[in-house]
Amino acid sequence: MNALIQPPATVLSVEIDQLLDQHAPVVRAHCYRSYQFAAALAQADGIELDDEVLYLGTLLHDVGFSPGGDRNARFEVRGANIVRALLLDHEMERDRVDNVWDCIAMHASNALARHKSPETRYSSRGTSVDVRGTGAEVLHPGFVRTVLDRWPRHDFPHLFPEVLRDEVWANPESTRMSWLEPITAATIPGFEPTDLLAAIHASASLT
């Protein structure tokens, strides 16, 4: 299988391109590749799922990097909340909206995503393939080549870390106790990483 996977032909799937336009080109291409990998992984495993939920949840998983939303929330939750409001405005069924929310909020938390819906699980796996460059070996090499030719990844290892650094510079406190906190600690002078053990020991006064 070499052909790209066609996105669901729904009104919502067409309209979300407006949100993607707010992304830097490196992020936009990453989101499209992530969906292709996610959908292909599900097909390879013979898993049936709600493709519109997978498409929305995977293509919009980095909306939290865009302006807007609660800057105190970690960027995955920020983006999930923005998309939830959009989908509810479009009168999508609440359980499907919640499923999209999970895809976005847990896209970087594989250990959690694998215990949620198929859409959440494969969205996280597809995103991970593109970010880490691992896991694509189960996919047809011709398909992977087609995806990479359509949305080239060659600058991604250099440009995407800059996106992450921009996020932690803009919202350092939102990264606490998240996978972004080590990047914040390495990027922001004077930022003290969370010391959970110290916090637990300090709680001895609560008696």
Say which amino acid occupies 58.
Answer: T
pTM of the model: 0.92
Residue-wise pLDDT tens digits, 48-103:
999 999 999 999 999 999 877 788 899 999 999 999 999 999 999 999 999 999 99
Contact 183, 168 (CB under 8 A): yes
Which tokens go with 99? 């499923």
Which residues in the chain come in under a pLDDT of 50?
Answer: none
Closest CA to 106 of 141, 64, 138: 64
